[in-house]
Chains A and B, each alone.
Chain A
Amino acid sequence: MLSVERSNEPTQRQALYKTKGTFRSQEEKRKHFLEEQKRKRNVNFDAGRNFEEIPEQRHEDAHLSGNLSKKKFGKMLMQSEWMEEVPGDLMEKWYLVPCPVGKRCIVISETKICRGFSLSGKFLFQTKALLKEGKVGRTVLDCIYNRETSTIFILDVILWAGYSMVNCETEFRFYWLKSKFEETPELLERPNAYKFHPLPHALATDTETALESLDFTEKLDGVLFYHKEAHYTAGVTPLVVWLLPFMIAEVLGISVNEEMAQQPESYPGHLEYIAEYKKKQKEKRRRGRKSVEMDTSGSGHDESSIFEESGEPVQEEDELELG
């Protein structure tokens, strides 16, 4: 028999009377169980994926003006170890890059502007975008910034116009940088005070020549050696090593000019110097940590020398930002 009473509001409303929200029905439990199985399955799948390499998308962060948090950018750059012993294949497999004094920095060039941040994420400078032709992807460079001369020395390339260079070997990355700047000399013609300067690299066999004819006027801070086949990795790597100018003659057994050979007072020798340095650094860090906790911008580190973090294993592996 048909019923005209089809407004079902009493039962609907009745369910609301003294309703108990959290008691779950069998159906909900079942659904929950299935979701849980799905989650476990995903965990299982994810275990087979080289997930640790996932870069977090940090577009939003990079668009913010001002400082970047240390956690996000601090350990993104590739960092050297001290050259405590000479690699056996130094002559065949390594490039050297003489470095001027300045602050190590990460330079991010986007559609309109290009900004530099210190290792601790502190904002350093802002200038016009590096690449101008239309809408190109983001470019991220590994640089040294000399405040006195407003020059940005380019060490390495991480991302070029949206293309990741991270999985390219040093040989290719250096070649890429060099040819890009040669192809487009406009890149170096900057409208304002900030100048870009790609640092030249040379074969380790040509160390002497390279050091005699530095192409910058700033004081030489030290020399970096890059393994030709090294990919760009975040944090400290043994495939990039570092020597101070006064160690070069001693370690590599080549002659250098007087200025470079100038040793600090009571120089104990190369290995001893490094050991001493590491010890001091460790202490400083221990002391510094307390103040860092207070300082959210993370500028608690002394950044007078660009590679002073050398030799200290990086605590947390941070990922690379890819546009």
Chain B
Amino acid sequence: MNNLIMSAETSLQLINILEKTISPDKNELEAAQTYLEQAALTNFPEFCKGLSEILGHGGNSAVVRMAAGLQFKNSLTSKDPNIAIQYQHRWLALPEQTRAYIKQNILGALGTENNRPSTAAQCVAYVAVAELPVKQWPELIECLASNVVNTSSTEMTKEATLETIGYICQEIQDQEVLQLQANQILTAIIHGMRSNEPSNHVRLAATNALQNSLEFTRANFETDTERNFIMEVVCEATQSTDTAVKVSALQCLVKIMSLYYQHMESYMGQALFPITLDAMKSETDEVALQGIEFWSNVSDEEMDLSIEATEASEAGRVPSRCSRFYAKGALQFLVPVLQQKLTKQEENDDEDDWNPSKAAGVCLMLLATCCEDDIIPHVLPFVKDNIKSPNWRCRDAALMAFGSILGGLEPTTLKPLVDQAMPTLIELMYDQSVQVRDTCAWTFGRICEIVPEAAINEQYLKSLLEALVNGLKAEPRVANNVCWAFTGLAEAAYEAAENAMNAGKDDDGAQPETYCLSQYFEFIVQRLLETTDRPDGAQANLRSSAYEALMELVKNSPRDCYVAVQKTTMVILERLQHVLQMESHIQSHSDRAQYNDLQSLLCGTLQSVLRKVSTEDAPKISDTIMTALLQMFNSNSCKAGGVQEDALMAVSTLVEILGEGFLKYMEAFKPFLHLGLKNRAEYQVCGAAVGLTGDIARALRARILPYCDEIMMLLLENLGDNTVHRSVKPQILSVFGDIALSIGHDFGKYLTVVLQTLAQASQVDVDRSDFDMLDYLNELREGILEAYTGIIQGLKDEDGNNEAGKTCLLALESHLPSIIHFVSTCSQDPDHSDSIIHNCAGLVGDLCLTYGAKVLPLVDAEAVNEMLTEGRRSRVTKTKNIANWATREVRKLRNHATSCVDQMVRSSRARPPDRHVHFVGVTFKSKLRSARGAHAQFCAALTSRAEDPHVLSDTNRRIYRRFRGFVGKGRRLSSLC
């Protein structure tokens, strides 16, 4: 065993170094760290052994032991999950003997430290995290359990051991690893939690460990006796005089409620309700917060259950779990306590603080969503009694209660309630207390969002607008909420006008002539523009909120506000030019950040005004806009990804309104488009550039051709580059489709490489348990389908005289079976999205249009038919329409084939039979192979022809000619299959 132990000399040296890891001298500190890193690299086993010895040796100083433990722990885990796995493998690769020695040291160190939390506990836990999943260290849990239960264990041993258990439960992701030993773990934890445990430290460590073990002790919770026992211990712990234990026990209750809602019935009335109500009333904030959280959590849970119940009843099944409506039953007791807490606002509120008053507001909101109208009788009296109170806390609490419950109420109850409150609310916008004005502005924001029809009520509109415009000049936080209210107001007013306009007609999407804000529009815009210029605009996010409100107002503006929109456009343009000149004045880092934000906001606002600009006006201002944007691309601010992205998006909007007119800027803009496409580090910028490329391709059509070589090269490079974020890649494929459609047969030169790329991308599959990756797979497949669609539509030769196009079509022909195979793969994937079906159906229809009868044997297949059926049954109208169209295109081909055979049989009787019968035979056979359901018709056609009295020579000739062409195509196609 001797060779296992480090030489005393080495050990001393290590101790020296460890002491320096907390040195105030920066050089010493760095030197120590370098040494330790080196030591870990050169001789990892010795290094670990040394550290474990130092940690285990009680004679060493607490600092050194802690540092040793920390170094050891850091060699076992990392925040980066990939590195953590590497470290675990490095540990497991050590000789068993070495590991056993180290484990003995660290396990022995449990309880020998005087500091909290224990370092040894972390060391043991991370070795366990590496070893337990691979079925090593089987005796550990038993050893830990006995540490806790053993009457001779010291307080420190019990505490450190329970901490270890807590860490292990928290860190081991695979719950099956611990399930087998759940009983031992739970026994130890419950032992430490008992009310007769004298040490609060032990109780706390045990209670924290319980929180971490709740997921994998499901089996224990399913058994009545065990559950009763656990619940009893937890409830007892909530009565501890020690706040930390009490809070941790309450946190356990919150979690148990989520995990085991269905088992809580027998504890609710007797224990959980009185315990949590009592906690809510507590003067200790942490305790009160947990009490409130319990009921917020119950509301969440019961909302989920009610959704489940609705879904189940729609699907005609019995829900697997039912709500017991605890929240509804407890309302009358909970609401008064919450309202009491609402009045305990901080005098000087800090946005980041979390206190019972704020938690009570949120809890009321959740209770209202859960219990709906039932909450009204409990809240309204409080609102009425306090809203005019001389005490600002009461007025604010009343407003908060009112604003919070709005979201849960039925529209029929809500509207009269808000109507009635309107005059008082408007008055409160002028309150002397900033808190009250803030809450009032927020309440207006809620009203505009939830009951917009009450907000635009003619009776109060003018005074409401006055109050809001006045609020724009108030403190930044108040003004910020007012901006939000304007956002909702604009949307509500516009929607109302749209609805009124569409009531008589059925065309949607047209712009209404006017709306209720028209006469105030310019004034509001003016005030919002002033707000964006406020010197304190950086506070409470006010500047960006004001710009956001401006954008919404412009977006939702009717025709008669166009002049004001035009004016706003000019203001934004001026500001853009002005801001570009300001760049040289930037001094500090925060100046730069504000300056960049401003540019982003101006680009965003520019987009919203541009969308409203008429097609006649667009060319008049486009030069100025493009000049400003080019200047921006040229400046330093576009080195910040955010600004570059927003500027690219602004160009997209310009492209949209100019269409082909964008061509004249192409030469000047090209370098910046390329820069964007090359910005692989900031994938959002790259993505915006790719999207913009597609927009340009669609707008310029064939005129994008001179720019294609470079663009295609950049796009293909990005596709092949692993450093390019994956989210950009599906977009690139879609843009191939845009370009192909625009340049038609000129895409031929890229065809080979693009088809190859698409074929490769079609092979991609992902980890099905990862939802993000599933989304990605669907996006990628949509991209591929869009690329094929663009290529095929682009090559469809309308005049039929283009040789280059024909060559491309021919080249594509050999890919058709694999394209259809891909369509089948996508549509049969159980995880496919509706858009996949939309794109598949579109592609199938396009193939029919482009290739005609040739593709019939390919598209008239089981999988394609199923895909089309699914599309026709889609809830999405667009998908339904396109699937109907595609079905019809396929059917046309099928019917055409049928009638050809049909008529051919007839003509065969008019002419020398042998040749014609031959033709009929060929087609009939090839059709039989593919056309489902058409068989009967063919048979009927063939047999019924025998008695046909109509023999018309010129028709026959025509049919004969057409038929000959058909058979020829059929032969070529059959060689493809």
Same complex? yes
* Shortest Cβ distance from residue B163 to the other chain A in the assembled complex, whole angstroms: 8
**Besides the known contacts A22-B491, A38-B734, A54-B885, 16 further A-B residue pairs in the complex with CB atoms under 8 A apart:** A2-B117, A17-B358, A20-B445, A23-B484, A34-B691, A42-B842, A44-B741, A45-B786, A48-B846, A54-B884, A54-B888, A55-B884, A167-B895, A167-B896, A169-B899, A179-B944
Which B residues lie within 8 Å of A7 (CB)?
Answer: 211, 251, 254-255
Determine how close the nearest CB of chain A comes to the CB of B3; give it in whole angstroms.
Answer: 34
Is the pair A50, B849 in contact by a Cβ cutoff of 8 Å?
Answer: yes
Does A54 contact B950, Cβ atoms closer than 8 Å? no
Partner of B878, one of A22, A29, A42: A42
In the assembled complex, 15 residue pairs joining A and B whose CB atoms fall closer than 8 Å, in A order, are: A6-B170, A9-B296, A16-B365, A20-B442, A21-B449, A23-B484, A23-B487, A37-B694, A41-B698, A41-B734, A45-B741, A49-B845, A49-B882, A51-B885, A57-B872
Decide if B545 is an interface residue (CB 8 Å cutoff). Answer: yes
Q: Chain B interface mostly helix, strand, loop or mixed?
A: helix
Q: How far is the CA of A22 from the CA of B447 in the complex (A)?
A: 12
Query: If the complex has contacts A4-B208, A22-B487, are A57 and B884 also in contact, measured as CB distance less than 8 A?
Result: yes
Q: Which residues of B contact A179 (CB under 8 A)?
A: 944, 947-948
Residues of B within 8 A of A (CB): 117, 122, 125, 166-167, 170, 208, 211-212, 248, 251, 254-255, 289, 293, 296-297, 354, 358-359, 361-362, 365-366, 438-439, 442, 445, 449, 481, 484, 487-488, 491, 545, 548, 552, 604, 642, 649, 652, 656, 684, 687-688, 691, 694-695, 698, 731, 734, 737-738, 741, 786, 789-790, 793, 796, 835, 838, 842, 845-846, 849, 872, 878, 880-882, 884-885, 888, 891-892, 895-896, 898-899, 902-903, 937, 940, 944, 947-948, 950, 952, 954-955
CB-CB < 8 A to B545: which residues of A?
Answer: 23
Which of B484, B738, B948 contacts A44, CB < 8 Å? B738
Decide if A41 touches B694 in the complex (CB within 8 Å).
yes
Q: How far is the CA of A1 from the CA of B212 in the complex (A)?
A: 16
Sorted nearest first, the 6 A-B pairs with minimum C-beta distance are: A4-B208, A54-B885, A48-B793, A179-B944, A20-B484, A16-B362
Tell me, in angstroms, the Cα distance from A38 to B952 when the chains sit together.
52
Write the chain A residue with the least CB distance to B552.
A22
The verdict on A40 contacting chain B, using a C-beta distance below 8 Å, is yes
Assess the A14–B354 pair: CB atoms within 8 A.
yes
Q: 0/1 per residue, A169-195, Cβ < 8 Å to B?
A: 101100100010011000000000000
Chain A residues at the B interface, C-beta cutoff of 8 Å: 1-2, 4, 6-7, 9-10, 13-14, 16-18, 20-24, 26, 29-30, 33-34, 37-38, 40-42, 44-46, 48-51, 53-57, 92, 163-165, 167-169, 171-172, 175, 179, 182-183, 228, 322
Are B442 and A23 within 8 A (Cβ)?
Answer: no
Query: Which one, A23, A40, A48, contacts B695 given CB within 8 A?
Result: A40
Q: Please pick, from B354, B649, B842, B940, the residue contacting A45 in the complex, using a CB distance under 8 A.
A: B842
What residues of chain A lie closer than 8 Å to B698, measured between beta carbons? 40-41, 44
The one of A2, A37, A182, A228 in contact with B691, judged by C-beta atoms closer than 8 angstroms, is: A37
Which residue of chain A lies nearest to B204 when distances are taken between CB atoms in the complex?
Answer: A4
A55 to B481, CA, bound (A): 49
Contact B484 A22 (CB under 8 A): yes
- B residues near A26, Cβ cutoff 8 Å: 642
What is the CB-to-nearest-CB distance from B192 to chain A, in angstroms, rounded to a whole number? 14
Of A24, A46, A175, A228, the most chain B CB neighbours within 10 A belong to A175
In Å, the complex CA distance between A50 and B695 comes to 23
Q: Is the CB of B445 within 8 A of A57?
A: no
Measured between beta carbons, the chain A residues less than 8 angstroms from B684 are 30
A36 CB to closest chain B CB (Å) equals: 9
**B361 proximity list for chain A (CB < 8 A):** 17-18
Task: Kindly provide the distance from the CB of B601 to the nearest chain A CB, expressed in whole angstroms.
Answer: 11
Instruction: Name the residue of chain B whose CB is nearest to the CB of A50.
Output: B849
Bound state CA distance, A172 and B901, in angstroms?
12
* Residues of chain A within 8 A of B896, CB atoms compared: 167
* Bound Cα distance from A175 to B903, whole angstroms: 10
- Cβ 8 A contact of B789, one of A1, A45, A55: A45
Given the complex, which residues of A lie within 8 Å of B442, measured CB to CB? 18, 20
> Which residues on the A side are within 8 Å of B846 (C-beta)?
45, 48-49
A49 touches B548 (CB 8 A): no
B694 & A22 in contact (Cβ 8 Å cutoff): no
- Summed over the interface, the residue pairs from A and B with CB atoms below 8 Å come to a total of 164
B902 in contact with A33 (CB, 8 Å): no
The answer for the CA separation of A172 and B604 in the assembled complex, in Å, is 60
> Are B491 and A163 in contact (CB-based, < 8 A)?
no
Contact yes or no, A48 B892, CB < 8 A: no
List residues of chain A with CB within 8 A of the CB of B362. Answer: 13, 16-17
Provide the bound-state CA to CA distance between A49 and B888, in Å.
12
Chain A min CB distance to B609 (Å) = 16
Is B548 touching A172 in the complex (CB atoms < 8 A)?
no
Contacting pair B790 A163 (CB below 8 A) = no
Residues of B within 8 A of A54 (CB): 881-882, 884-885, 888
Do A172 and B358 have beta carbons less than 8 Å apart? no
Q: Which of chain B's residues have a CB closer than 8 A to the CB of A92?
A: 954
**Which residues of B sit under 8 angstroms from A4, Cβ to Cβ?**
166, 170, 208, 211-212, 248
Closest to B934 in A: A163
> B957 → chain A, closest Cβ, in Å?
13
Q: Which residues of B contact A45 (CB under 8 A)?
A: 737, 741, 786, 789-790, 793, 842, 846
Expressed in whole angstroms, the Cα–Cα distance for A290 and B128 within the complex equals 86
B737–A55 touching, CB < 8 Å: no
Chain A residues within 8 Å of B695, by CB: 37, 40
Residues of B within 8 A of A23 (CB): 484, 487, 545, 548
CB pair A2–B793 under 8 Å, yes or no, is no
| B798 nearest CB neighbor, chain A only | A48
Nearest chain A residue, comparing its CB with the CB of B843:
A45
- Nearest residue in A to B170 (C-beta to C-beta)? A6
**Which residue of chain B is the closest to A26 with respect to CB atoms?**
B642
- Given A22-B487, A54-B885, verify A172-B737 contact (CB < 8 Å): no
Complex CA–CA separation, A164 to B845 (angstroms): 17
**A22-B449, A23-B487 known; A168-B884 Cβ under 8 A:** no
Q: Please pick, from A1, A20, A55, A164, the residue contacting B895 in the complex, using a CB distance under 8 A.
A: A164
Query: How many Å from the CB of A298 to the closest CB on chain B?
Result: 16
Q: Which residue of B lies closest to A7 (CB)?
A: B251
Question: Which residues on B sit within 8 Å (CB–CB) of A21?
Answer: 449
Checking B122, B366, B552, B948 against A2 with a beta-carbon cut-off of 8 angstroms, the contacting residue is: B122
Determine the chain B residues whose CB is within 8 A of the CB of A1 once the complex forms: 117, 122
A2 to B954, CA, bound (A): 91
Complex Cα distance A13/B741, Å?
49
User: Is the Cβ of A22 less than 8 Å from the Cβ of B488?
Assistant: yes
Residues of chain A lying within 8 A (CB to CB) of residue B122: 1-2
Chain A minimum-CB-distance residue to B958: A229
Assess the B948–A175 pair: CB atoms within 8 A.
Answer: yes
A179 (CB) vs chain B CBs: closest residue? B944
Residues of chain B contacted by A9 (CB below 8 angstroms): 254, 293, 296-297
Smallest Cβ distance from B659 to chain A, in angstroms?
12
Cβ-closest chain B residue relative to A33: B649
Q: Kindly state the separation between the CA atoms of A104 and B694 in the bound complex, as whole angstroms.
A: 51
Bound form: Cα–Cα A299–B289 in Å: 69
Which chain B residues border A16 with CB–CB below 8 Å? 362, 365-366
| Chain B, residue nearest A162 (CB) | B933
- With A41-B694, A48-B796, A164-B891: A53-B254 Cβ-Cβ less than 8 Å: no
CB contacts (< 8 Å) of B365 on chain A: these are 16
Contacts of A167 in B (CB 8 A): 892, 895-896
Given contacts A22-B488, A23-B548, A49-B846, contact A13 B293 (CB under 8 A): yes
Distance of A165 from chain B, by nearest CB (Å): 8
- CB-based contact B293/A183 at 8 Å: no
Residues of A within 8 A of B354 (CB): 10, 13-14
Which residue of chain B is the closest to A165 with respect to CB atoms?
B895
Contacts of A55 in B (CB 8 A): 884, 888
Distance in angstroms between the alpha carbons of A92 and B944 in the assembled complex: 25
A300 to chain B, nearest CB (A): 19
Given contacts A18-B442, A44-B698, A179-B944, contact A171 B895 (CB under 8 A): no
Q: B residues within 8 A CB of A164?
A: 888, 891-892, 895
